[in-house]
Amino acid sequence: MDLFVVILCFYLCIQILNTLLSEKLTQMMEWASKRSVIRMNGDKFRRFVKAPPRNYSVVIMFTALQPQRQCGVCRQADEEFQVLANSWRYSSAFTNKVFFASVDFDEGSDVFQMLSMNSAPTFLHFPSKGKPRRSDTYELQVRGFAAEQLARWVADRTDVQIRVIRPPNYAGPLLLGFLLAVIGGLAYLRRHNLEFLFNKNVWAFSALCFVLIMTSGQMWNHIRGPPYAHKNPSTGQVSYIHGSSQAQFVAETHIVLLFNAAITMGMVLLCEAATSDMDIGKRKIMCVAGIGLVMLFFSWLLSIFRAKYHGYPYSFLMG
């Protein structure tokens, strides 16, 4: 008789858990049908993410989108997260295995406190079984927040492959068409005098601009999609230089580009001072200006290098 009671209680518990799980899945699917990214507060997070039973994974972006928070990076990351969630929600492979959600600081500050979280945006994966591991926290500063990078991370954590589909963006083709039209128009207007196409200074300047753009890290930005800068939500301090050698901010590439351009300008002035036919006074001014540019901006560039590669022993002018 006691064994029968135990079996009956066990059966009833299983039925209750299955019913509860079914209700949670139905509710999550209903929310996902309305919004690809489910908005959660503290109560929803505790009930649908923290509390068992749960046989689905949840990828959550913790953010601070309210204007008073002044988190520009949060808005950029939210756009990419929406692209990822929409790509999954409207794909033919969509299932109830993974859901995407967001918790805004102003709507779920208790969740931030519960998880001891003091920065935003942050991406966390809550697996269907067990507690989140270290690898379930997305390395935003290293990988950036591009939807493609997030999709690779989600695939690594959940085995769900998401093909990112972005809405059409005609800005690039329109800009390219406008540029080609301008170049074609100039060539047509000067069709009887095309000597400028053989001007070595024009080609040298164009090649130099291309080299500066590539060496500053613009291609890395295009692939990884890092934030422009990082603002500490606790102190409000904005960092334009990433503290690791494995990552960078967009602002950092702009700074490095300007420093390299200034050093290049200094070298050009030194070469012109040595080879030009101008009077000696102007050549001396060019020489001093060139030396100043090279020394000053090379010192700043080296200080950035030292800040990213900790332990680098050498410095110049600025420690």
Digit-by-digit pLDDT tens for the chain (319 residues) are 566 555 656 555 566 667 777 888 888 889 988 899 999 998 999 888 888 888 889 999 999 888 887 787 888 889 899 999 999 998 888 888 999 999 999 888 899 988 888 888 899 999 988 888 888 999 887 788 888 889 999 999 998 899 988 877 676 688 888 888 987 887 777 777 767 677 777 788 888 888 888 888 877 777 667 777 877 766 777 888 887 777 788 888 888 889 999 988 999 888 888 888 888 888 888 899 989 998 998 898 888 888 887 777 777 776 5
Give the residue carrying structure tokens 């040298």.
204
Q: Are 119 and 189 in contact (CB under 8 A)?
A: no
Q: Which residues pair with 60 in a beta bridge?
A: 101, 124
CB neighbour class for 249 (10 Å; exposed up to 12, middle 13-18, buried from 19): buried
Whether the model pTM is above 0.85: no
CA 159 to chain centre: 23
Distances (CA, A) of 158 to 8, 35, 74, 125, 129: 35, 21, 24, 9, 11
Q: How far apart (Å, rounded) are the C-alpha atoms in residues 65 and 42?
A: 17
Task: Find the DSSP H helices in the chain.
Answer: 2-34, 42-45, 72-89, 109-114, 140-143, 147-158, 171-189, 200-215, 218-224, 250-275, 280-308
Q: Which residues fall within 8 angstroms of residue 162, CB to CB, at 6 or more apart?
A: 84, 87, 88, 91, 151, 154, 155
